[in-house]
Amino acid sequence: MAHDKKNSSYISGRESRRITRFNRRVTRRLEKERADANKDQSLYTTKMKNPNNVVEFDNVCTYFFSDVGVVKAVDGVSYEIPVGKTVGVVGESGCGKSVTSLSLMQLLQRPSGQTVGGEIRFNLGDGTAYNIVNTPNAIMEKIRGNRISMIFQEPMTALNPVFRIGDQVDEVTFLHHPELSKEEVKARTLEMLELVGIANKEGVYNMYPHELSGGMRQRICIAIALACSPSLIIADEPTTALDVTIQAQILDLLQNLKDKLNSSIMLITHDLGVVAGMADYVVVMYAGRVVEKGTTEDIFHHPSHPYTIGLMKSKPVVGKKVDELYNIPGNVPNPVEMPNYCYFRDRCEMQCERCHGDYPPEIRISDTHIVTCYRYIDQGEIVGYPKSVDVEAL
């Protein structure tokens, strides 16, 4: 494609109209299903496979119905987040790591973004679980900010500039605990501000976001996320916009708070260094699929998928001198037309005969370590295939 001089993204008017018609039909139907507030509860309650997990992603498919075709942003992703543990999700931009978390929160850009297949099971703690994919909006509103909360990348834009800090933290508690009085809510907010290490809590309570530095704002965002003691905190690149020294402060804070509150953290980042210091488990994603998952030791001491190996080699490490950094050749395949073989094959320097077949299965190479690559097909048992949803059948 890259060698083709002609513009490969050209779409004829007829084709474009067909895509639009198709998108409208599919998204309308899906939206209608979701809007049904009086849905029978049995439709979205399930059981966890393992009650020690907070969240189980099971073959989740989140597609975007765009004007140039269906973009499979997340395509058959499966992994678990155990209670009280930190799971790091690593990958380059556009690999679907953020979309997975947005699917969990049902915060996708609708109607074009839709979770069309798979299950996201969220543990309610009483033996039952919600399948987030089918959960109606009214129920989701009670989960968001209360049971699952999110810390965003840009603390500068995540806070509303026209409200005082106190009001913004109060809002969460107020929404999810309407039984509390104003004074009780304020007391709780001050407690939260203290918890995230803000010394001048009474002063900050009455400040506006612009009066605070980036690190302080991120602390406020964390306070908002923790206000209702959620069982899962999604931290979407929480330190990318911050300086190294502030990053160390924030990571230190997150680590301490997790132990204090016994919450799980889903840490989305592209910085391998941050993951190594924070996470218990690591999931490596590439082009909308999980290519490797395991404990942090598995991934960092025995990286197995060629992509993970390449990623590790391409990052300069302080104290390790190399003449030239390794770089992974080529680019990520076009998300509209994914190949039907291994997505990484065209960039892979370790490809073999077998790679010309279908997309490789997930192979368990040790108790905790799963890799999606044909190189290990003789070294472990096959645990599953990432399942895609047939778009035409929708």
Partner 1 sequence: MQEMNNNPVRQSDYLLEVENLVKWFPIKSSFFKRTVGNVKAVDGVSFKIRRGETMGLVGESGCGKSTCGRTILRLQEKTGGEVRLNGQDIFALNKEQLRKLRPRMQIVFQDPYSSLSPRLPIGEIIGEAVREHGIVPQGEFDDYITRVMEVCGLPPYYKDRYPHEFSGGQRQRICIARALALSPDFIVCDEPVSALDVSIQAQIINLLKKLQADFGLTYLFISHDLSVVEHISDTVGVMYLGSMVEYAETGKIFANPLNPYTQALFSAIPIPDPDAHIHRIILQGSIPSPANPPSGCKFHTRCSHCMEVCKHAAPKWLEVEEGHWCACHLYDDAQAKAEAEEAMARAKRSQAQAG
Query: What are the residues binding partner 1 (CB under 8 A)?
Result: 2, 5, 92-93, 213-216, 243-249, 251-252, 270-277, 296-297, 300-301, 310-312, 314-319, 321-322, 324-328, 331
Q: Are 375 and 307 in contact (CB under 8 A)?
A: no
Comparison of 176 and 289: residue with beta carbon closer to partner 1: 289
Q: Give the alpha-carbon dihedral of 265, 266, 270, 271, to 10 degrees.
A: 20
CA distance 253 to 255: 5
Least distance CB 314 / partner 1 (angstroms): 4
| Nearer CB in complex with partner 1: 129/198 | 198
Instruction: Output 50 or 314, the one with its CB closest to partner 1.
Output: 314
Could you list the beta-strand ranges (E) of 222-323. 232-236, 264-269, 281-286, 289-295
The residue written with tokens 């035409």 in the block is 392
DSSP E strands in the chain: the ranges are 45-46, 53-66, 69-82, 86-90, 113-123, 129-131, 148-151, 232-236, 264-269, 281-286, 289-295, 362-364, 370-371, 381-384
CB of 159 to partner 1, least distance (A): 16
Nearer CB in complex with partner 1: 246/394: 246
Least distance from partner 1 to the Cβ atom of residue 181, Å: 34
C-alpha 182/C-alpha 111 separation (Å) is: 37
Strand partners, 382: 363
Closest Cα partner for 121 from 130, 134, 111? 130
Q: Which is nearer to partner 1, 216 or 225 (CB)?
A: 216
To partner 1, the closest distance from the beta carbon of 176 in angstroms equals 31
Q: How far is the CB of 378 from partner 1 (least distance, A)?
A: 28
Nearer to partner 1, 189 or 218 (CB): 218
- The residue among 50 and 200 lying less far from partner 1, judged by its C-beta, is 200
Q: Which of 159, 70, 173, 149 is nearest to 117 (CA)?
A: 70
Q: How far is the CB of 4 from partner 1 (least distance, A)?
A: 10
Residue 42, φ and ψ in degrees, nearest 5: -65, -20
Q: How far is the CB of 318 from partner 1 (least distance, A)?
A: 5
Residue closer to partner 1, measured from CB, 60 or 222: 222
In the complex, minimum distance from the CB of residue 281 to partner 1, in angstroms, rounded to a whole number: 11
Q: Are 287 and 333 in contact (CB under 8 A)?
A: yes
**What are 167's two structure tokens?**
């009001």
Nearest distance, CB of residue 243 and partner 1, angstroms: 4
Residue 7: CB minimum distance to partner 1, A: 8
Nearest to partner 1 of 118, 310 (CB atom): 310
Q: Which DSSP string corresponds to 186-211?
A: HHHHHHHHHHTT-S-HHHHHT--GGG
Please choose, from the candidates 8, 6, 10, the residue with its C-alpha nearest in 3D space to the C-alpha of residue 67: 10
Strand 281-286 versus strand 113-123 pairing type: unpaired
The two beta strands, 281-286 and 86-90, are: parallel
Report the candidate in 85, 124, 127, 125 with the shortest Cα–Cα distance to residue 262.
85
Q: Which one, 6 or 32, has the nearer CB to partner 1?
A: 6
What letter represents residue 232's amino acid?
A: L
